[in-house]
Amino acid sequence: LNLKPPSACQTTAKATKSQAAQTRRRQRTAFSNVRSVIPKHRQDLLKWNGWGYQDSQFAVTNQRTLTFTGQRYQLSGSEMPALVEWMEKALGASIDQRSPAKFTRPENIPPPVQVNADFMSAIRQLGLSHSDAGPDRLFRGHGHTLEEMFTLREGMFPRLPDLVVWPTSHREVVELVNLANRCGVVLIPFGGGTSVTGALLCPPGERRMIVSLDTSQMNRILWLDERNLIGRFEAGIIGQDLEARLAELGYCIGHEPDSLEFSSLGGWVATRASGMKKNVYGNIEDLLVHVTFVTPTGVIEKSCAAPRVSVGPDVHHLIMGSEGSLGVVTEVTLKIRPLPQTRRYGSLVFADFASGVRCLRELALRRCAPASVRLMDNEQFQFGHALRPAASGWTTAFVDAVKRFYVTRVRGFKPDELAVATLLYEGTPEEVAQQEALVNSIAANHGGISGGEENGRRGYMLTFVIAYLRDLGLDYYCVGESFETSVPWDRVLDLCRNVKLRIKEECRSRGVTQPVLSTCRVTQTYDAGACVYFYFAYNYRGLPDPVHLYEEVENAARDEILANGGSLSHHHGVGKIRQRWYSRSVSEPAVAAVRAVKSRLDPNNVFACANLFEPAGGPDGQTEQKAKL
């Protein structure tokens, strides 16, 4: 591999010096043109009104059995006989009561409402790839909250971007941003489209032309620096492409959010993302060494890629979490790591959730948590159980029975109380063995027993499949959503219990008569606390406005989280759906400071996505829309 100083790649595509051109050419041979799994026209591969790939979904094979279609996942093709029963028991859903989507293909896509002629002629002149086709605009006009999915199935968004533009380099982004600033056009950056905060929705009151800046075509690996173990990447690269390409070269980033298949590097930076293996690799703020950020008033970047600096407030922390409201990330330097020699799964079974949390707390205390550790409560354990494929032979069934006998009879765990932790170890074989022994001994202090490697592997595999489940639920009158928080250790148990119960009570008091699924898991451990992930779903058969009801319940749940000492968000961000709590969460002067930065960097409110807060009346006073979308 070529080791190149960072300066070499900061030359633009139109480099005139031959040496630079040669450099670029060599670079390209090594890294450029990462062929993404996701096509430029996303509709060719992805569902337009659901999660993920078109070929992958839960489907009913016969009356009582569900299967997962396609060949992409480990679960694909296997039949899950227990799932229907679980849906009936946990949600009161019935396989005979279907609620198919009103629209089976995108109809009524609103045409572009604003076309800025100056802008259009300028981008044609610049040769920027763009499209105003309905499906292109539709795919970039939303994220994946329940409300957005429901809107796709039952209606249409009031406003979509008027145009999609695909810049292919930092330089083109600079030109595009300047152009938008000059022409009075709104830019909404788009990476992988997996936002769950309403961040991609067009502010309905916006009267200017809205252009979606799709970064997907700037997905090159610009260089790797093996001496320093860093690499420079264009912001549009999506997680699975990034890891796959690096793996070929013997490296990894190790940043694995659950949306890894679809989310982009730029999106991770803009939302302060977190990955499940942060214990080894760190969250995005730990991984990020350098970032280039294009704003209407210029490009923000540090002058060096030194590992840590004390040069005033860290501007990286303005960029991370800006959620598209200040500018757009174009290039990022991240730490890279050699691929681990060993990857090993594990699982632990505890008598109850509380013992599991105490175990995780001790792992954090002794700072020996493996790459990933997640503790599922009993409801999630039961759900995971329901996703088990039919036993593939009498030996498996026999082994299962023996295990069950040991856990429930010999150890006395109650099947409706026990909790399960899944573990992922990475490192050299010795490191992993050592770590596993230590973790198991700590677990034993809390009454935990090993549940075997296979259960752990399944747990992680389910991470990617679980997102598909919501689409299945929507077909059977069930709406569901997940949300997360982070909280100090001493409040974890109270928070989990109180929020789960609050969800159930809020549903009940709003007329939900069927059982409500309200479940949580602890997904990250920190020195001072943990990240908790909640799932909740309910059956809305017979209720008039399930999405509104859902919103009210989620808001109540968030109030409960905050009352219990939890944060507004651990990694999803604020977006539009959590704005009402933003000021309370960070204090008024802090919001004023961020607003001041916004008005200085983006005086014309080009990045008018209205995330974090409503802009205080743009220059043309166009943004008086209500927070409610």
Q: Which residues bind another protein (CB under 8 A)?
A: 351-355, 377-378, 417, 419, 447, 488, 490-491, 493-498, 500-502, 505, 562-565, 584
Q: Decide if 237 contacts 34 (C-beta within 8 A).
A: yes
Is 60 annotated as ligand-binding? no
Q: For residue 160, give the nearest of 204, 119, 191, 199 by alpha carbon.
A: 204
Residue with tokens 């700037």: 218
Select 152 or 530, whichever has its Cβ closest to another protein.
530
Q: DSSP labels for 81-144?
A: HHHHHHHHHHH---TT-----S-SS---PPPPS---HHHHHHHHHHT-EEE--HHHHHHTS---
Q: Which residues of 126-158 are buried (b: 16+ CB within 10 A; e: fewer)?
A: eebebbeebbbbbbbbbbbbbbbbbbbbeebbe
Q: Decide if 305 contacts 290 (C-beta within 8 A).
A: yes
Is 323 annotated as ligand-binding? yes
Q: How far is the CB of 497 from another protein (least distance, A)?
A: 4
Is 191 annotated as ligand-binding? yes
Q: How far is the CB of 507 from another protein (least distance, A)?
A: 14
Is 328 annotated as ligand-binding? yes
Select 547 or 562, whichever has its Cβ closest to another protein.
562
What the block records as the tokens of 507 is 């549903």
Question: Which residues pair with residue 187 across a beta bridge?
Answer: 211
Is 574 annotated as ligand-binding? no
Q: How far is the CB of 518 from another protein (least distance, A)?
A: 10
Q: Decide if 287 contacts 335 (C-beta within 8 A).
A: yes
Return d(Cα 531, Cα 567) in angstroms, integer: 9
Backbone φ, ψ for residue 234 (5° rounding):
-75, 150
Q: How far is the CB of 445 from another protein (least distance, A)?
A: 12
Select 563 or 592, whichever has its Cβ closest to another protein.
563
Is 456 annotated as ligand-binding? no
209 vs 185, 198, 298, CA distance in Å? Answer: 5, 19, 22
Q: For residue 516, give the nearest of 533, 496, 544, 536 by alpha carbon.
A: 536
Residue with tokens 């979509």: 160
SS3 content of the chain, % helix, strand, coil (to 5): 40, 20, 40
Q: Is 502 helix (H, G, I), strand (E, B) or coil?
A: helix
Select 345 or 535, whichever has its Cβ closest to another protein.
535
Q: Decide if 531 contacts 492 (C-beta within 8 A).
A: no
Q: How far is the CB of 501 from another protein (least distance, A)?
A: 4
| CB-count burial class (<10 Å; 0-12, 13-18, 19+) for 33 | exposed
In the chain, the largest separation of any two C-alpha atoms, in whole Å, equals: 76
Is 273 annotated as ligand-binding? yes
Is 192 annotated as ligand-binding? yes
Return d(Cα 59, Cα 57) in angstroms, integer: 6
Alpha-helical segments (H) within 127-214: 134-139, 146-154, 170-183
Select 262 or 581, whichever has its Cβ closest to another protein.
581
Q: How far is the CB of 591 from another protein (least distance, A)?
A: 17
Select 339 or 562, whichever has its Cβ closest to another protein.
562
Select 501 or 590, whichever has its Cβ closest to another protein.
501
N-term to C-term CA, the chain? 49
Q: Is 342 helix (H, G, I), strand (E, B) or coil?
A: strand
CB neighbourhood size of 590 (10 A): 12
Q: How far is the CB of 496 from another protein (least distance, A)?
A: 5
Select 198 or 356, whichever has its Cβ closest to another protein.
356
Return d(Cα 41, Cα 49) in angstroms, integer: 15
Select 136 or 560, whichever has its Cβ closest to another protein.
560
Q: How far is the CB of 357 from another protein (least distance, A)?
A: 8
Q: Decide if 379 contacts 87 (C-beta within 8 A).
A: no
Is 325 annotated as ligand-binding? yes
Q: Decide if 600 contacts 585 (C-beta within 8 A).
A: no
Return d(Cα 461, Cα 516) in angstroms, integer: 25
Select which of 251, 476, 533, 540 is catalytic.
533
Q: How far is the CB of 228 from another protein (least distance, A)?
A: 39
| CB-count burial class (<10 Å; 0-12, 13-18, 19+) for 438 | middle
Return d(Cα 296, Cα 179) in angstroms, integer: 9
Select 381 or 538, whichever has its Cβ closest to another protein.
381
Is 327 annotated as ligand-binding? yes
Is 565 annotated as ligand-binding? no
Is 329 annotated as ligand-binding? yes
Is 272 annotated as ligand-binding? yes
Q: Is 533 one of the annotated active-site residues of the chain?
A: yes
Q: How far is the CB of 562 from another protein (least distance, A)?
A: 5
Return d(Cα 334, Cα 356) in angstroms, integer: 34
**Binding-site annotation, residues for substrate:** 470
Catalytic residues: 533
**Binding-site annotation, residues for FAD:** 189-195, 271-274, 323-329
**Binding-site annotation, residues:** 189-195, 271-274, 323-329, 470
